[in-house]
């Protein structure tokens, strides 16, 4: 499973991938994280562009702060463009706590793994808040 990592979660993603790898999951699941830079996305890209790129590349968007208001907000994009075949957006509920609290971080990693393992269940749901 491929993830598009929101520009402000690069450090979080490194920690998360390390957590997943230390549990041995990368030997069983093909999980890859892609940055905005790797996908040629500007950090100023609006939510619509980010979501569309993730969908076009069959990626789960991992974020913490995409907007809820406006024409190109993630919320509006999901209302207008999400289909039963759309990959979900995973939102870390508390990005600061993720960095500071190992148990919270582990719960986030576990939840992401659950979603990846049963991705067909989560297609089309729009947005999932974790842990």
How is residue 76 written in tokens?
Answer: 């509006």
Domain ranges within the chain, ordered by starting residue: 2-130
84-122 residue pLDDT tens: 999 999 999 999 999 999 999 999 999 999 999 999 999
Count of beta carbons in the 10 Å neighbourhood of residue 80: 9
Confidence (pLDDT) at 52: 98
Confidence (pLDDT) at 70: 85
First to last CA, the chain: 19
Predicted confidence band at 68 (pLDDT cuts at 50, 70, 90)? confident
Confidence (pLDDT) at 126: 97
3-54 residue pLDDT tens: 999 999 999 999 999 999 999 999 999 999 999 999 999 999 999 999 999 9
Going through 10-131 in order, the beta strands assigned E by DSSP cover 32-34, 59-63, 89-92, 127-130
Topology of the domain comprising 2-130 = Rossmann fold (3.40.50)
Q: H/E element holding 5?
A: strand 2-5
**Beta sheet of 127-130, edge-to-edge order:** 32-34, 2-5, 59-63, 89-92, 127-130
Count of beta carbons in the 10 Å neighbourhood of residue 11: 12
Predicted TM-score (pTM) of this structure:
0.94
């Amino acid at each position: 499973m491929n993830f598009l990592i929101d520009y402000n979660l690069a450090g979080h993603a490194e920690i998360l991938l390390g957590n997943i790898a230390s549990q041995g999951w990368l030997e069983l699941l093909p999980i890859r994280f892609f940055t905005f830079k790797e996908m040629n996305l500007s950090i100023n890209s609006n939510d619509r562009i980010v979501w569309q790129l993730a969908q076009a590349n069959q990626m789960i968007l991992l974020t913490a702060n995409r907007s809820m208001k406006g024409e190109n907000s993630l919320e509006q994009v999901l209302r207008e463009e999400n289909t039963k075949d759309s990959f979900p957006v995973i939102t870390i509920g508390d990005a600061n706590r993720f960095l500071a609290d190992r148990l919270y971080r582990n719960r986030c990693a576990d939840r992401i793994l659950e979603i990846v393992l049963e991705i067909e269940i989560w297609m089309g749901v729009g947005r999932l808040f974790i842990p």
